[in-house]
Structure 1
Amino acid sequence: MEEKKVTESPLSEDTLQYFKEKLLAKRAEAKEQIEILSDRRDNLDEADDADRSSLTHHPGDVGSEAEEDEMNYQLLEREKKYVNEINDALERIENGNYGICQATGKPISKGRLDAVPHTRYSMEAKEKGLVEDE
């Protein structure tokens, strides 16, 4: 897919500032969540180390712990990806092309940006199948 390059945001400075503040707040929340998930994972690892010294290990417990560890890993990776998407959106604000669909080159509606401020694509692009899910 070829992305359209446009460098003139259709949004006013005040609107851009609103979205910048919203993105910064969402990034702070995501980073806090990353810290919580990392701490939880570290605690699971420490508990595993302590459990290894024990003589009895029920297979169900081992499986549950592995499943929980995998879930935490997936959540952690998702949050890291989300932070990267937010950083990309903040960069687009700085570069002057925030709010422009990278698939169509058309403005992204404020409603869409308000719902998904890190989006790079308009609903039109998504509905036409021009992009994969974000």
Structure 2
Amino acid sequence: MDVGKRRNGTHKLNGKSARDGNGQHGSNGQHAGGNGSNGVSRRASAPGALSRRMPVAQSNPPMSAETPVPRSSLSTAELDRYRRMLLAKRDQLLGAVTHMENEALGKSRSESAGDLSQMPIHMADIGTDNYEQEFTLGLIANERETLKEIDEALVRIDAGTYGVCLGTHKPISKARLDARPWARYCIEYHRQQEQRGRSG
């Protein structure tokens, strides 16, 4: 009997140790599985973490209206030279606009007064006159817009901000100012605006 009890006790101990061993393996397996799931979650979140760290390239946004325009870096002599260029161009455009307006007004008055010498005879002549009148009105509108930009450039000279791009607040190149002294934007920002207009 003592030998049987000892055998049963040994069997129970062996069974307990076997269960403990299985339990230990189970816990190890669960622990390994936990590590595996953590590894998957880390790998899944890795692209997002990289995307958060990587900078995104953006084009230069336009400055807000509240941002003050920097002072011009041009010298007083350069500003005086551009002022003279603007005033000369302004006088030239004013003379051209006045001449075109007088011609258009004179033709309209002669037609309304019934002056037969000024009226076209053929239908083709009528179409040509209408086209010329529309073309002249378009030129007048364009020249008046340029006159407005010239006046704004003169104001910027007085304010000390002439030659600074209104879109990026960067200096406008002297080559561009020499060709177009009333320019409001640098050539890079001007091209960006044109591309946005075409894409829109």
131, 134, 138: which one aligns with 1:67: 131
Change (3 A) 1:19 1:10: same
How far 1:66 sits from its partner (Å)? Answer: 1.0
- Kindly provide the amino acid, as one letter, of the partner of residue 125 in structure 2: D
Conservation of the 8 A alpha-carbon contact between 1:5 and 1:102: no
Residue matched to 1:43: 106
How far 1:51 sits from its partner (Å)? Answer: 4.8
Q: Give the structure-2-normalised TM-score.
A: 0.59
Whole-Å separation in 2 of the counterparts to 1:48 and 1:66: 12
CA deviation vs aligned residue, 1:63-86 (integer Å, no higher than 9, x gap):
111111101100111111110010
Deviates more, 1:107-116 or 1:5-14: 5-14
Residue matched to 1:23: 86
Residue matched to 1:58: 122
How far 1:22 sits from its partner (Å)? Answer: 0.4
How far 1:40 sits from its partner (Å)? Answer: 1.3
Matched residues, number: 131
151, 155, 168: which one aligns with 1:104: 168
Conservation of the 8 A alpha-carbon contact between 1:27 and 1:86: yes
Q: Give the structure-1-normalised TM-score.
A: 0.86
Question: What's the secondary structure of 1:104's corresponding residue?
Answer: coil
Conservation of the 8 A alpha-carbon contact between 1:6 and 1:100: yes
Residue matched to 1:13: 76
100, 125, 147: which one aligns with 1:83: 147
In structure 2, the gaps of 5 or more residues are 1-61, 196-200
- Kindly provide the amino acid, as one letter, of the partner of residue 100 in structure 2: L
In structure 1, the gaps of 5 or more residues are none
Larger Rg: 2
Give the aligned CA root-mean-square deviation in angstroms. Answer: 2.3
How far 1:126 sits from its partner (Å)? Answer: 2.4
Whole-Å separation in 1 of the counterparts to 2:63 and 2:170: 14
> In proportion to residue count, which structure has more helix?
2
Whole-Å separation in 2 of the counterparts to 1:52 and 1:67: 20
- Kindly provide the amino acid, as one letter, of the partner of residue 92 in structure 1: R
- Kindly provide the amino acid, as one letter, of the partner of residue 17 in structure 1: D
Identity, in percent, stands at 34
